[in-house]
Amino acid sequence: MVGTPKIPDQLIETLRTARHLVVVTGAGVSAESGLPTFRDKQTGLWERFNPEDLATPGAFDRDPALVWGWYEWRRMKAARALPNAAHLAIRRLEEIVPRVTLVTQNVDDLHERAGSRVVHHLHGTLKNPFCSGCKRPFHFSPEIPDDPEAGRSVDPPRCAHCGARIRPGVVWFGEEMPQREWNIAEQAALECDVFACVGTSSLVYPAALLIQRAIGRGVVTVQINSTGTDLDKLVMFDLRGSAGIVLPALVTGAYPDR
């Protein structure tokens, strides 16, 4: 963990006058809520599990119970987690900046539970599974699921209409992102005057194209990340530190009276 970096005065000034801010978040924004990221050394999900076995349509065809059990484990963890200071700081920005477009690659609902009303989920959500056959939505019962172990197989429920297996409501490798969410995110990247990416390695496409669009337009770009990424030298402001510390410092610095 790193401490609070100095927030540059120029960034504070920019934020004060921002008209349209885009915030793109990744797994790092939920890390301080206790949810693992994907690529952090030792703790990242893809350090422990093989995405080929869990996050592709082929994986679900081969072993639906393994895949369903893994996503149920993640749903349980997300349901028991609480939004952290980073989610809340983004919520505060929404109250202050005239227009904020919040885009996330995360499948948890911690932004919503922090109070953000419109969250564009590029990779789907754990809460909205659907039928792998007829695509109708499936509704979970409201209770928080049991605490299945990671890697435990759980048979997916069957669709009440067509009998096919219910699948997790997430976007897997090799699948299209939801077109509407992507269009909104892309348009926002082409229109905003400030673009911030928070807690993402910016390695997964097409989501990573968004920051590249903003960099290409020459608008103010900010990265908040606890470690370095390929964008360190490309963004205008590279703030190294935990999102739960840096984001509140940024908001308080720009809007001390709000």
The residues carrying an active-site annotation are 123
What is the sign of the dihedral through the CA atoms of 81, 208, 195 and 183?
negative
Chain-centroid distance, C-alpha 82: 15
Does 237 help bind ligand OAD (rule: CB under 6 A)? no
User: What is the rounded distance in angstroms from the CA atom of residue 70 to the CA atom of residue 64?
Assistant: 10
Residue 100, φ and ψ in degrees, nearest 5: -130, 130
Q: Does residue 26 interact with ligand OAD by CB under 6 A?
A: yes
Cα–Cα distance, 173 to 180 (Å, whole number): 18
Tell me how far, at minimum, the Cβ of 255 lies from ligand OAD, in Å.
Answer: 21
The residue from 19, 227, 230, 232 that contacts ligand OAD (CB under 6 A) is 227
Task: Pick the piece of the chain touching ligand OAD (CB under 6 A) from 5-13, 71-79, 182-190, 224-232.
Answer: 224-232
- Closest CB to ligand OAD among residues 13, 47: 47
> Binding ligand OAD by CB under 6 A: which of 242, 250, 251, 254?
242
Nearest residue to 110 via CA among 234, 16, 174, 26: 26
Residue 170 three-state SS: strand
Binding to ligand OAD in span 92-121, by CB under 6 A: 105
- Total residues in contact with ligand OAD, by rule CB under 6 A: 27
The dihedral sign for the CA sequence 57, 79, 38, 151? negative
- The answer to whether 119 touches 184, Cβ cutoff 8 Å, is no
Residue 44 in contact with ligand OAD, rule: CB under 6 A: yes
Segment interacting with ligand OAD (CB under 6 A) among 3-11, 12-20, 196-204, 231-239: 196-204
Identity of the residue, 159 or 181, whose beta carbon is nearer to ligand OAD in the bound complex: 181
* Residue of 217, 170, 228 whose CA lies nearest to 194: 217
Q: Is 209 in the site for ligand OAD (CB under 6 A)?
A: no
The residue ranges that bind ligand OAD (CB under 6 A) are 26-28, 31-32, 37-40, 44, 55, 105, 123, 171, 173, 199-201, 203-204, 224-227, 229, 242-243
